[in-house]
Amino acid sequence: MFSGRLKGVAALLGLLLAGVALADAYRTIPMNQKRLATYYVQASMAGSGAVEFMVDTGAGYTTINERTLEKLVEAENAVYIGELTGVMADGSEHRLPLYRIKRLVLGDDCVIHDVDAAVFPHDTRMLLGLSALEKAAPFVFSTNPPRLSLSNCGHSAG
C-alpha cells in the first residue's frame, strides 16, 4: 500500500514539475487595454521601429498599414506574395495585397518569422491576427491581468 501511495506522489510531483517547465517556456507580453475590450501589444519590425498591434484572435491575418509597409519594404523586411479577398467585420469584401514580414518582434524578445500580413490603406490600425499568433502557438490570451503568453518564440538575437 505504501508503495502505491509513493508512486502516486511521484506521479503527481512529475506532473507539477512538467507544468512548471511548460509555464517557463511561455514568453509573456504585456497588453495595454484601450476602450472596453481592445488590447494592444508593443512590437517592432526592421524598418518600422516600435509599433503597436491590436490583438485580434478573430482575424485570420495580421494586418499592417501602407505607411508601415513602405518602411518594411525599404528595409527589405517584407516581400509581396499575392492578393487576397478580405471579408470585413461588416461583411464587405475587399481585395488586399498580401506581404510576408520576414521578422516581427513582439514585446522585448518574442521573434516570429515569415508572418503573412494583409495591407490596409493609409495609417489604419494594425492587427495581430492568427497568421502571427498560430506561429507562436499554443498561446494564452488573458484579460486579468492583460497579457499574451506565447510558447514558440524565436530569440531576439540574430
pLDDT at 135: 96
User: Is residue 32 pLDDT above 70, yes or no?
Assistant: yes
Domains contained in the chain, CATH given: 27-150 (2.40.70.10)
Q: What digits encode the pLDDT tens for the residues 60-101? A: 999 999 999 999 999 999 999 999 997 777 888 889 999 999
Strand order in the sheet with 27-30: 27-30, 146-150, 139-143
Q: How far apart are CA 35 and CA 158, in angstroms?
A: 36
Please check the confidence at residue 105 and state whether its pLDDT lies above 70: yes
List the beta bridge partners of residue 31: none
Position 15 confidence tier, pLDDT thresholds 50, 70, 90: very low
Cell of 25: 517556456
For residue 35, which amino acid is it? R
